[in-house]
């Protein structure tokens, strides 16, 4: 297994931001009643909505500098594997703000 500076393995370095990202997006679900489900694992997540707001949420996120794949009633988020924990938290914050902007 490849070792990262500081003695951590590459898988550990990649796993932690993904775990933090999943946790952050799950918190968005707790605060946004229009989010019906969060699916996925690590750095590949989908957010399903109760209403057909996926494209509007994606547009609001894009306005803040975040590109997501938009569907009719979902958005898919897949940041690069090199995303840091701080960047993952920022992505989750942008998603939460975008949802709030759309649903009011």
pTM over 0.85: no
Residue 42 lies in a domain: yes
Range of the domain at 97: 10-103
Residue 77 lies in a domain: yes
> What CATH number is associated with residue 21?
3.90.1150.10
Residue 4 lies in a domain: no
The per-residue pLDDT for 96 is 95
User: What is each CA distance from 65 to 3, 19, 30, 95, in whole angstroms?
Assistant: 33, 22, 24, 11
pLDDT in tens, the chain (104 residues): 455 556 667 666 666 778 888 999 999 999 999 999 999 988 899 999 999 999 999 999 999 999 999 999 999 999 988 888 899 999 999 999 999 999 98
Number of domain units in the chain: 1
Residue 1 lies in a domain: no
């Amino acid at each position: 297994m490849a070792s990262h500076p500081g003695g951590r393995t590459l898988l550990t370095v990649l796993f932690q931001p993904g775990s933090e990202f999943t946790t952050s997006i799950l918190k968005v679900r707790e605060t946004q009643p229009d989010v019906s489900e969060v699916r996925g694992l690590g750095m590949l997540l989908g957010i399903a909505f109760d209403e057909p707001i996926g494209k509007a949420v994606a547009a609001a996120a894009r306005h803040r500098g975040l590109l997501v794949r938009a569907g009719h009633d979902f958005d898919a988020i897949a940041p690069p594997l090199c995303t840091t924990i701080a960047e993952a938290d920022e992505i989750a914050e942008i998603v939460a703000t975008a949802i709030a902007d759309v649903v009011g």
